[in-house]
Amino acid sequence: QKEVEQDPGPLSVPEGAIVSLNCTYSNSAFQYFMWYRQYSRKGPELLMYTYSSGNKEDGRFTAQVDKSSKYISLFIRDSQPSDSATYLCAMTLGGSYIPTFGRGTSLIVHP
């Protein structure tokens, strides 16, 4: 079992839909949780960063962490074709700066 599990998709949704992207993990010691967005043939860019459980909102994006279930989510409201990309979750142990990445979920938002 991999430490971080992420469904590779692809996930295809119509423009305007609410998108839910998820990761599960097995190591309860993870404390920092991140979401990266990667466009085709580009490097990932950091979207959201959260510490421990709870929600964090930034515009159309909401990151949610449920440590009791070892489950994190990224919600995208009013999805746009420009949101079409691969979304990678990542998490680190406290005191470490080397994240463990999920495999990424490919999202396609069609007009």
Partner 1 sequence: DGGITQSPKYLFRKEGQNVTLSCEQNLNHDAMYWYRQDPGQGLRLIYYSQIVNDFQKGDIAEGYSVSREKKESFPLTVTSAQKNPTAFYLCASSIEGLGGSGYTFGSGTRLTVV
Q: What is the DSSP letter of 83?
A: G
Residue type, 21: L
* Contact pick of 21, 23, 44, 72 for partner 1 (by CB under 8 A): 44
* Contact pick of 9, 17, 101, 108 for partner 1 (by CB under 8 A): 101
Q: CA-to-CA distance for 6 and 93, rounded, in angstroms?
A: 18
Backbone angles phi, psi at 69, to 5 degrees: -100, -5
Listed ranges 12-20, 35-43, 56-64, 67-75: which one lies at the site for partner 1 (CB under 8 A) = 35-43
User: Is the CB of residue 36 less than 8 Å from the CB of residue 21?
Assistant: no
* Contact pick of 19, 34, 74, 109 for partner 1 (by CB under 8 A): 34
Binding site for partner 1 (CB under 8 A): 6, 8, 31-32, 34, 36, 41-46, 49, 51, 88, 90-92, 94-99, 101-104
